[in-house]
Amino acid sequence: MNTDLLWRAEALCAQTDPEAHYPEAGGTSAPAKRTCIACPVRRACLEHAIQAGEEYGVWGGVGQQELRRLIQARRAETEAA
């Protein structure tokens, strides 16, 4: 197993409702974000999503639009370095 993904074993969404993290268009991401707030691996999850370019769903308490901004910002930082 990729040790960078060990945080997934503690993912709170896996114990609740993973589907809530992929709301349909026009749906709410609020329940997913509430789960993330209590999740012990929130930081690792968000970092994974940014590094892996996960543009869909709620990751680390961050919704799709904000996540896309963070991914673009990271790519810009990487390209500038």
Does 20 bind ligand SF4 (CB under 6 A)? Our answer is no
Does 29 bind ligand SF4 (CB under 6 A)? Our answer is no
The torsion of the CA quartet 12, 43, 22, 50, rounded to 10 degrees, works out to -150
Identity of the residue, 15 or 76, whose beta carbon is nearer to ligand SF4 in the bound complex: 15
Shortest Å, Cβ 16 to ligand SF4:
7
Within residues 40-69, the interface with ligand SF4 by CB under 6 A covers: 41-42, 45, 58-61
Shortest Å, Cβ 69 to ligand SF4:
17
How is 10-62 classified by DSSP, letter by letter? G-HHHHS-GGGGSPPTT---HHHHHHHHT-TTHHHHHHHHHHHT--SS-BTTB
